[in-house]
Every structure is written in structure tokens, then in C-alpha cells.
Homo-oligomer: A and B are copies of this chain.
Amino acid sequence: MAGNSFGQIFRITTYGESHGIGIGVIIDGCPAGLEILEHDIQMELNRRKPGQSDIVSPRKEMDKCQILSGVHNGFSMGSPIHIFVPNDDARPEEYSDIANVFRPSHADFTYFSKYGVQGVSGGGRSSARETIARVAGGAVAKALLKRHNIKMAAYVSQVGKIKIPPDTKIDTSLIENNSVRCPDQKTAEEMIQYINHLKENGDSTGGVISCVIENCPIGLGEPVFDKLHADLGKAMLSINAVKAFELGSGFAGVEMKGSEHNDVFITEGQEVLTKTNYSGGIQGGITNGMPILFRVGFKPVSTISKPQDTIDHDGKNAIVQAKGRHDPCVVPRAVPIVEAMAALVLADHLLRAKISKL
């Protein structure tokens, strides 16, 4: 009910506050016999952590994971898998002077209203550190997808107004070649320049992450409320700062005619394909074997160094100015988070699909 669990069969439960002792995830429902390596989980966490490059927060967090249960000799045992990441380099003093004000477009006001208590400094559960647990859980989900040869890649396709030009052919092997995680090198350079400009001005911007999932089995997703893209949408919208989600043709598809938008079935050998893929790989909520394509819109980061008007807990006018070491644009570090959440949705539906028919 309190919403700290995600998934039906392959199910994670997360805990931990930003500036508390640590962050963790319990993965329940992972089948026994899956190879799970701490190293693979750590690699994903490293992609998420701050301090990777000039354009992200310079905080030095180790984000070192520990598997505390559920894995024996590198294989899952069928029991709950607990991955713990201790907090370090916490500097709660950076938050002391904002303890009594509501930061604009942050969750301070809503948390305070809902729970009657201010969380620990740094945002408590609303901090982006919470996503560590998602990435760790997602790494285990990825291990399951790997066994099914499912391939997933997310990348930054837009920062502010800078977008990869339409009809650019995406080569997902280039994503990690630059610090902004945009596979189009020219666009990436413009993005980095823009982010650095904002950083100098104490401001921030939003961005879009695109995700492509290939080689997904036909038949994943449930037809009514748990349509695969409905679960993907919820997964993405639950990530901090996400405001928008679209599958396949998305909002642009609205303007098309049915005769243009319909994806015509064709065969290629034994395989059934569609000529176009406006459906984004999902029809009636269920995968059709074509690549799953979706886009996720992130708002500009709320924490900025510029002074801002606000009010305090007593409703009095106040000024807030962040001193923390924050990101001017969240999307480069959000790429592994988007992948993690997508992997969790797919892992869950892979297991759910096992019981659809006799």
C-alpha cells in the first residue's frame, strides 16, 4: 500500500533514505539457478553514480554493492536476494539551512503534508539516491533477460531543445562513448556544451531518454490493465523528474490517419513482422516481436544554485539557494535507471507469460 514494491512475480521492495545508513533492495521471486554476479550489479551502479564526468554532480559516492542473501556460489537460490549499498560522503550539513523551507518543485511540501514529519535532510525517500535500489534490482532482472537473449539500450535523444536529428540511424554501441550518453556524436557535443553553460549559470534543463528493446519474445504483457506498455509507462513515470511517456508513434501518431499508421503484417521466412513499427512492438498490450520503442521525458532538475523565492514551514516568505553538488541535467545518469525499470517490467512479464496457457 505504501508503494515501495514493484512487480507481481519478479518483485522488488526498496528501502533507505538519502542521508541515512544506506539504500537497499529485496528481490523476491527470482527463479533459482540464475547466475548473478556482484560485478555486473556494480557495473550498472557505476553508470548511475555521480562523479563520472564533468557534466554530472561531482559528489564522490562509492555506491559499493553487497549481496547479503539469496545468492550462493554465484547463483540464485530461490530465496529473497538482498542487495545493500551503504551511504557515504553524506554531508547533511549542506541541507541544514534548507531544513525549514519548502524547495520549489521538490517533494518537501508534499511529504511534510502527507506524513506530518520532515524526512531526514537531503530529501529522504524522494532523493534520487533511491534509484540506486532500482538499478541494483534491475541488474538482476537484466541477468534474466540475458538468458532470453533480449537486448536493451537506452540513450539520451534530447537535452533542452537539442535533439538528435530526425531519421538519424541510431548505433547503440556508441552510447557510452560520450559523457551525455547520446549515440550521435555531433549532437552529444552540443548537449555537453549546453549543460556546461547551464552549470556555470547555476541553472538546469530537462531531456528525453529513448529506449529500444530487441529480440523480445512474442506474447509478453497482459491484455487489460497490465498491458506491457502500461506497466512500462508506470515504471518510467515513477522515476524522479519524469513527466511524460510515449510508446512507438506516441503523441506524433495522434496526427496520422489510420491508413498510414496501421502496421501491415508481412512474413519473412517463418517469422511474422510488420512493415512499419508505429505500434512500438506492442499491440493490444502484448509484444508482437518487433522492437519495443519508447521515450521518456524528464523535467529540468529542480535543484539550482540560483536564489529562488519560496516559503518556510510557517508560511513566511523565504529565499532558497542550493549549496549541494547537483546535476544541471539528470538524463545522462538516468539512462541506466530507465534500463533498470524496463528490465524489471520485462522480467516480471517473462515469468507471468509462463502461466498464460497450459
What residues make up the interface of A, taking CB atoms closer than 8 Å to B? Answer: 1-6, 8-9, 11, 13-17, 20-22, 24, 26, 28-29, 31-34, 68-70, 72, 75, 77-82, 102, 104-107, 109-111, 113-117, 119-120, 124-126, 130, 147, 158, 160-161, 198, 203-208, 218-219, 221-227, 229-231, 233-238, 243-251, 253-267, 270, 272, 274, 278-280, 283-288, 297-304, 306, 308-311, 315, 351-358
- Are B72 and A117 in contact, with the CB atoms below 8 A? yes
Which of A270, A284, A287 has most B Cβ within 10 Å? Answer: A284
CB-CB under 8 A from A117, the residues of chain B are 32-33, 72, 75, 77-78
Interchain CB contact under 8 A, B258 and A300: yes
> Which chain B residue has the least Cβ–Cβ distance from A12?
B225
Given contacts A264-B104, A288-B110, contact A17 B79 (CB under 8 A): yes
CA distance A80 to B20 in the complex (A): 12
> Could you pull out 9 A-B pairs where Cβ atoms are within 8 angstroms?
A24-B82, A31-B355, A79-B124, A111-B286, A206-B253, A230-B237, A233-B234, A258-B302, A267-B315
Residues of B with C-beta under 8 A to A75? 117
A69 touches B283 (CB 8 A): no
Q: Which of A244, A302, A352 has the most CB of B within 10 A?
A: A244
Contact status B15-A70, CB under 8 Å: yes
- In Å, the complex CA distance between A81 and B213 comes to 33
For A13, the chain B residues whose CB sits under 8 A away are 5, 13, 26, 28, 80
Q: Which residue of B lies closest to A232 (CB)?
A: B237
Contacts of A355 in B (CB 8 A): 1, 9, 29, 31, 351, 354-355
Other than A78-B114, A204-B259, A233-B234, give 9 A-B pairs with Cβ distance below 8 A.
Answer: A15-B82, A21-B69, A31-B358, A78-B117, A110-B283, A158-B254, A206-B261, A244-B250, A259-B308
Contact B79 A254, beta carbon cutoff 8 Å:
no
Q: How far is the CB of A323 from chain B (nearest CB, A)?
A: 15
Among B160, B245, B280, B286, point to the contact of A245 (Cβ < 8 A): B245
By beta carbon, the residue of chain B nearest A80 is B15
| CB-contact partner of A247 in B2, B243, B264, B303, under 8 A | B243
Closest to A358 in B: B33
CA distance A308 to B257 in the complex (A): 13
Task: Provide the residues of chain B in CB contact with A81, threshold 8 Å.
Answer: 15
Q: Is the CB–CB distance between B70 and A299 below 8 Å?
A: no
Q: A26-B15, A354-B355 are in contact. Are A301 and B258 (CB under 8 A)?
A: yes
Q: Which partner residue on chain B sits nearest A158 by CB separation?
A: B254
